[in-house]
Chain A
Amino acid sequence: MASYLSAANAVQARNGQLALPIHTSEGGAMIPVSLGANNDCHADDIDHGVTRATYERGFSPYEFNGGTTLAISGPDYAVVAADTRLSSGYEILSRNVTKLHALTDKCVLGSAGCKTDVDQLRSVLDIKMKIYAHNHRKPMSTPSVAQMLGNTLYYKRFFPYYAFNVLAGVDSEGKGAVYSYDAIGSFERTPFSASGSGQSFLIPLMDNVIAHKNRLDEKRDLPSEEVVEIVKDAFVTAGERDIYTGDAVEIMVITKDGLTTETFKLKAD
């Protein structure tokens, strides 16, 4: 609607309610408006209640660009994986954008959420890590990175980074370490972690296969190759049901000797 006048002409009556048709990339909608005095309308509302309409609100600084991340720790390795689809609403923006970022050669950050916030968070972390390396003359250890990430997120407690992070790496003893985060810096070291749009499909699966819950057979330590296969199956599962997960999954295995990466194709639908 280009102007108030054209909008006023377009107002239609539907089911006894006056409404303004709007069109977006996800289809159309009828925004209820009030031109007269009634319970919903305020006398001084210049937009006739449009911004209070349930469908579309005012400007939001956040947008969810989709995707899922998963990290699993082992006795001497950590596996971290994330799909490579970038989306906005029902549209796919790219099938090949990484969600994984190596902070050191022993520590990888996987983030789903709003891509611009994720990128900015990474830039900030990279700078802090460089300063640490300059001052301490060694790269940051994974538990220290974990703490720093938590602090960095809390720093923006009242305008958060819309980033759902998993941190995976090996600690100074060479044992696998995985940390889960929320958007405002609460974190915890956990045996595994999943975040993003497909986390609900992955976490119950991991509970059974990795944490060995609700199983009668003997729990055993899994070698990293087997965990990678489990991760691939998990992402196939999540990709089936979650529209934002698919295209490909990037899997990194971190050991004390360094990082290896593998890309596994998923369904593109």
Chain B
Amino acid sequence: MFRNQYDTDVTVWSPEGRLLQVEYAMESVKQGSACLGLRSSTHSVLGALKRSVSEHASHQKKLLEIDDHMGIGIAGLTADARTIAKWMRNECLNHKYVYGTPMPSGRLLTDLADKHQRTTQTYVRRPYGVGLLVASYDKNGPHLYQTCPSGNLYEYYASAIGARSQSGRTYLEKHYETLNDASRDDLIMHALRALTGCVSGDVELTKDNGSIAVVGKDEKFTLIEGDELQPYLDRLELEGGTGGGDDDDDDDDDEEGGEEETKEEGGVEAMET
């Protein structure tokens, strides 16, 4: 194909009518570790798998607060994500100062999508190499949005992005009809179960690499990490293990049956049916 000749600048079309630089930026999102989001009629939950460079290094933060009523989960270039988060936080503060009410998330997201698009049409810039899942709560209820480097904006009931996220997406597709009436804790458990499908072969979901955030009616955006996450992980283990996830064969093509290995914790057999 003609990929190599037309991929140097974002302002160059390929003969198939594609902007290859933008597509490469979206590849970067697919390489980031998994991040997922889901919502009910009262709450919106984000979950993420935090990656660490080495055993001695810290785990990279994936969930960031934007305002009391909004937060994001990132996949891709972390530095790009932090720039975007700073911008979003600033917009929310300005809006609160000028209008006295929290920034409506839909409006912020359309501005964010436009911000992404601008980078795809300027010679001197490059697209942001990060995909965001934005969870928010406003007077219309909870929301979950997804942005990508191309500038496209989607609203979802549930979604997953990043490496091995297909497993997460499949789990969420299976269960999304029950999500609307799920309780806050049920949503968190769904997020954790979907997340366990996204771990790579020898890794298991622990309080150090797992991360959850909730926002909803009567609840400001709150991170649940570290020791606070342990009770949910314990509950997950009682159900069937922190590595087994759901019995799906619909895994990523590049993963060699990682799903098949039982991820046991302390010798407890995962009770799969």
Taking the complex as formed, is A13 at the interface, i.e. its CB lies under 8 A from any CB of chain B? Answer: no
Q: Mark B58-72, 1 if CB is under 8 A from A, else 0.
A: 000000010100000
Taking the complex as formed, is B93 at the interface, i.e. its CB lies under 8 A from any CB of chain A? Answer: yes
| Given A131-B89, A134-B89, A123-B65 contact (CB < 8 Å) | no
Q: Are B97 and A127 in contact (CB under 8 A)?
A: yes
Contact partner, A123, options B67, B89, B97, Cβ 8 Å: B97
Q: Are B93 and A131 in contact (CB under 8 A)?
A: yes
Q: Are B93 and A130 in contact (CB under 8 A)?
A: yes
In the complex, the chain B residue whose C-beta lies closest to that of A124 is B97
Shortest C-beta distance, B192 to chain A (Å), equals 23
Q: Mark A123-135, 1 if CB is under 8 A from B, else 0.
A: 1000100110010
Shortest C-beta distance, A72 to chain B (Å), equals 31
Q: Label chain A's interface by main secondary structure.
A: helix
Q: Which residues of B contact A127 (CB under 8 A)?
A: 93, 96-97
Interface size on A, residues (CB 8 A): 5
Q: Which residues of B contact A131 (CB under 8 A)?
A: 89, 93
In the complex, the chain B residue whose C-beta lies closest to that of A133 is B65
Shortest C-beta distance, B74 to chain A (Å), equals 15
Q: Which residues of A contact B97 (CB under 8 A)?
A: 123, 127
Q: Label chain B's interface by main secondary structure.
A: helix
Q: Which residues of A contact B67 (CB under 8 A)?
A: 130
In the complex, the chain B residue whose C-beta lies closest to that of A127 is B93
User: For chain A residues 96-145, which have a beta carbon within 8 Å of chain B?
Assistant: 123, 127, 130-131, 134
Q: Roughly how many angstroms separate A134 CA and B85 CA in the complex, as a whole number?
A: 10
Q: Which residues of A contact B93 (CB under 8 A)?
A: 127, 130-131
User: For chain B residues 81-102, which have a beta carbon within 8 Å of chain A?
Assistant: 89, 93, 96-97
Shortest C-beta distance, A126 to chain B (Å), equals 8
Shortest C-beta distance, A208 to chain B (Å), equals 43
Q: Which residues of A contact B65 (CB under 8 A)?
A: 134
In the complex, the chain B residue whose C-beta lies closest to that of A134 is B89
Q: Roughly how many angstroms separate A131 CA and B93 CA in the complex, as a whole number?
A: 9
Shortest C-beta distance, B95 to chain A (Å), equals 11
Q: Roughly how many angstroms separate A245 CA and B93 CA in the complex, as a whole number?
A: 35
Shortest C-beta distance, A57 to chain B (Å), equals 32
In the complex, the chain A residue whose C-beta lies closest to that of B85 is A134
In the complex, the chain B residue whose C-beta lies closest to that of A128 is B93
Q: Mark B254-268, 1 if CB is under 8 A from A, else 0.
A: 000000000000000
Q: Which residues of A contact B96 (CB under 8 A)?
A: 127
Shortest C-beta distance, B45 to chain A (Å), equals 20
Shortest C-beta distance, A91 to chain B (Å), equals 26
Q: Roughly how many angstroms separate A134 CA and B67 CA in the complex, as a whole number?
A: 9
**Chain B residues close to A by CB (< 8 Å):** 65, 67, 89, 93, 96-97
Show 11 residue pairs from A and B whose CB-CB distance is below 8 angstroms, ordered by the A residue: A123-B97, A127-B93, A127-B96, A127-B97, A130-B67, A130-B89, A130-B93, A131-B89, A131-B93, A134-B65, A134-B89
8 extra A-B contacts, CB within 8 A, seeds A130-B93, A131-B93, A134-B65: A123-B97, A127-B93, A127-B96, A127-B97, A130-B67, A130-B89, A131-B89, A134-B89
Top 4 closest pairs, chain A to chain B, by CB: A127-B93, A134-B89, A123-B97, A127-B97
